[in-house]
Homo-oligomer: A and B are copies of this chain.
Amino acid sequence: MRPTSLGIIGLGAIGGSLARQAKRAGIATVVGWSPEPAERAAAAQQGALDDAPYHARDVVRDADLVVLAAPPLANLELLERLAPAFAARTLITDTGSVKRGIVARAEALGLGPRFAGSHPLAGTHGRGFEASRGDLFQNAVVYITPAAGGERAAGEIAHFWETVAGAHPVTLDAARHDAQLAVTSHLPQVIASLLGVFLARHAPPGASFGPGARDTTRLAASTPALWSEILLLNRDELLPALRALEEPLGELERALETGDAGTLTAWLDRGRVWRRGLDS
């Protein structure tokens, strides 16, 4: 679909970028809401929005498509609160990085045929509308997770991301999405934080860190409150992944303990081959 009227709830880096990109793509009416009056004002002043009303329900009332771009727990609550205000024709999606909960909530609210989850793989370093960009989703993969009976809505929402945001939609079952993201995204986040927490306690004061340690811990600088929500929403997938790390960790420790250079080199090489493959 190419909406005539797009409603965006949440004007942070994700919602703000989508508003900018929709206006650039020529969407006639883009209306947005944030709990922060300053964010609403900035988005309207900078031409990312045609209107920024005081009440969230006034954003969704006449929208062809509503995008929930708040943090994941807020999206769950907003979906429930705004459901009575959606017009019968309105399609709804969200942008959170855990999908089973929001898809189940949409189904429970009877919105299944009009809802599909979205998860754009677009990294942002900053927070809030000031971190938004007019090309954030260009060429980014966006996972689309249909609700029961919502295959048609999922197709329309995938088409929206492709034609309006220049993204590459990939349709995926919500459960498969969450299992995959547990290892490809949530695990790297907690590993970077684990190393950060460890170094906060054990690194000698004034020690220098090279580019390697900086890159390995870069994700540790992510927003704790947001990531706490994400990790807890996906903990049933993340915890088994964390426990499965014990196997390669044990292999490493045994090779070090026994001074087994051949096994250690082969272990390191498995990681090297995988990582090189990521860039090829």
Bin chain A's interface residue count. 35 or more
Residue A89 lies at the interface, judged by CB distance under 8 Å to chain B: no
A215 B212 Cβ-Cβ under 8 A: no
Write out the residue numbers on chain B whose beta carbons fall within 8 Å of the beta carbon of A224.
Answer: 265-266, 268-269, 272
Min CB distance, A199 to chain B, in Å? 6
Say how many copies of this protein the assembly contains: 2
Write out the residue numbers on chain B whose beta carbons fall within 8 Å of the beta carbon of A188.
Answer: 195, 212-213, 216-217
Residue A38 lies at the interface, judged by CB distance under 8 Å to chain B: no
Tell me whether A207 and B184 are in contact in the complex, defined as CB-CB below 8 angstroms, given that A200-B270, A217-B271, A278-B214 are known contacts: yes
Tell me whether A265 and B221 are in contact in the complex, defined as CB-CB below 8 angstroms, given that A248-B198, A253-B242 are known contacts: no
Stretch at the interface among A20-28, A53-61, A255-263: A255-263
A190 to B270, CA, bound (A): 12
A200 to B278, CA, bound (A): 10
Min CB distance, A54 to chain B, in Å? 30
A275 B184 Cβ-Cβ under 8 A: no
A257 B239 Cβ-Cβ under 8 A: yes
Q: When the two chains form the complex, which single residue of B180, B183, B215, B268 contacts A215, counting CB atoms closer than 8 Å?
A: B215
Q: When the two chains form the complex, which single residue of B192, B202, B216 contacts A241, counting CB atoms closer than 8 Å?
A: B202
Q: Which chain B residue lies CB-closest to A204? A: B180
Q: When the two chains form the complex, which single residue of B200, B208, B253 contacts A274, counting CB atoms closer than 8 Å?
A: B200
Tell me whether A197 and B270 are in contact in the complex, defined as CB-CB below 8 angstroms, given that A219-B215, A275-B221 are known contacts: yes
A270 B210 Cβ-Cβ under 8 A: no
A180 to B202, CA, bound (A): 9
Known: A188-B216, A192-B216, A217-B274. 15 other contacts (CB 8 A): A180-B203, A183-B207, A184-B207, A190-B252, A191-B191, A194-B252, A196-B275, A197-B251, A198-B241, A202-B244, A222-B272, A224-B265, A224-B266, A238-B256, A239-B253
Binding site for B on A (CB under 8 A): 121-123, 141, 170, 176, 179-180, 183-185, 187-204, 207-225, 227-229, 231-232, 235, 238-239, 241-245, 248-249, 251-253, 256-257, 259, 261, 264-276, 278-279
